[in-house]
Amino acid sequence: VSESRPLRVAVVGSGPSGVYAAGHLVEHASGTWLDGRMQRCAPGRVEVDIIERLPTPWGLLRAGVAPDHFAKKKVADLFDSIATRPGIRFLGNVEVGRDVSTAELSEWYDAVVYAVGATHGRLLDVPGNDLPGYWTSRDFVAWYNGHPDFTTRSVDLTADRAVIVGNGNVALDVARILTLPAETLAATDISPHAEEVLRHSAIREVVVLGRRSPADASFTNAELAELEFLPGVDVLVDPGSIGDDVFAGTNANFANARRLATLERLFQRSVQGHPRRIVLRFLASPISLEGAERVQSIQIGHNHVDVSQGGRRVTATDQTSTLDAGLVISAIGYRSTPVPGLPFDETSAVIPTSNSRIMTAEGVLPGAYATGWVKRGPTGIIGNNKLCARNAALAVFADAEAGLLPSENTRSFDAVADTLRQRQPTLVSWSDWRTLDSTERSRGYARGKPRLKMLNVEEMLDVVTRESVP
């Protein structure tokens, strides 16, 4: 890279890991703290183009974080301040694989950082998982959060019980959204379609199934403790399902001990007689989904905790039971999908990397990096992406300094945008996103909501085209 031009980097994906990566890339261009001193980081000037498939940025912050989690959504302000730093530009409504190939990106940029996240839900591997009425949490969450790919899907909430399989934070998010009173949801930015369907929901009970014991649950104490204060919802722990060790997790570290204490409080609570309830049921594995035309019940295998050999294992018993349910949602994690043209490890569903550098069978793919869930797998909260993204930025700088970036055909922003515009006439810039953002906010304020989300890409592009300054 010559001294006279900036290092040109594309970040693919504008979710948390992409935004943090862009921030680190331009920040490190001027300097960074190391060993308590601000040190200059080569190569001096960096331009980052964030390429995003949708016209809207922020990935799972917009389509994943639960609508009632207002404080978490405030991270958007931080993202906004990062993404509008000098040197960072947004190219929204551009899909890698459709509008531009990975090979072209490698040619047009000195470096490309893939931050494409995990776009699919893990499917429950049991008979009946093809029946209507079964959803992955990824799809269900995207539906209630107004992701344009999911808003037209129809959700049937006419049965009085829903079952959620999984014991992570997403399972608790979904349980809350299914039980919160309509007026509580009305004050959020939940998709207006979902708000309407949920307003008429017949669901009275949501059972959350964990295949292991209370001590093994993945949800965090903060999310669990929130259940103690849900308006209009009884939260119960199924007494028959907690095993002999009950709340005494043998691996109880501080975080686990706090979570178990919260569970114990919930366990001891008496039923208040609220209109809806959430039942936390442990040591229960899904065996099959049953139903003629759609899900009508779920068959469950009962497990127990085996502490006989010094260790602590959860094993299946021969006991089973059946729970009637018209909706089954598996919240058992996300899964990344391959990016056309890049290597992919099917077993762990990630892009294979070494120190953030994308690896093929032959070795490092020059100038290609990954960060976030597509690199680490789908675990961790938004903030966990900071360090991951920083490592990717440092790998880019190390390779730039070592002269390892393929830079013969690097193009300027204008040249890239011109080519893309020939393939995709409506490119969405930051200022276009601001237009969408303020339109959504003002429509929302009128209804007492933080924003009223636009639900389809055509409408978004319409607004952008109408409002954009020529």
Binding residues (CB under 6 A) for ligand NAP: these are 165-171, 173, 210-212, 216, 218, 223, 285-286, 331-334, 378-381
Evaluate whether 400 touches 43 at the Cβ level (below 8 Å).
yes
Measured between alpha carbons, how far is 17 from 386 in angstroms, rounded to an integer? 7
Tokens representing residue 75 in the block: 């991270």
Supply the minimum distance, in Å, between the C-beta of residue 175 and ligand NAP. 11
- 232 vs 377 by CB, closer to ligand NAP: 377
Supply the minimum distance, in Å, between the C-beta of residue 121 and ligand NAP. 8
Supply the minimum distance, in Å, between the C-beta of residue 61 and ligand NAP. 11
Measured between alpha carbons, how far is 287 from 323 in angstroms, rounded to an integer? 11
- 159 vs 328 by CB, closer to ligand NAP: 328
Give 366-430 as a DSSP string.
EEEEE-THHHH-S-S-GGGHHHHHHHHHHHHHHHHHTT-S--TT---HHHHHHHHHHH-S--B-H
- 218 vs 424 by CB, closer to ligand NAP: 218
- 129 vs 424 by CB, closer to ligand NAP: 129
Supply the minimum distance, in Å, between the C-beta of residue 352 and ligand NAP. 21
Supply the minimum distance, in Å, between the C-beta of residue 218 and ligand NAP. 4
Measured between alpha carbons, how far is 410 from 408 in angstroms, rounded to an integer? 6
Residue nearest ligand NAP (C-beta atom): 168
- 94 vs 118 by CB, closer to ligand NAP: 118
- 48 vs 175 by CB, closer to ligand NAP: 175
Supply the minimum distance, in Å, between the C-beta of residue 260 and ligand NAP. 15
Measured between alpha carbons, how far is 434 from 451 in angstroms, rounded to an integer? 13
- 24 vs 211 by CB, closer to ligand NAP: 211
Tokens representing residue 356 in the block: 């953030």
Supply the minimum distance, in Å, between the C-beta of residue 315 and ligand NAP. 13
222: Cβ contacts below 8 Å, ≥ 6 apart: none
133: Cβ contacts below 8 Å, ≥ 6 apart: 156, 289, 291, 294, 295, 296, 326, 327, 328
Phi, psi dihedral angles at 294 (to 5 degrees): -150, 175
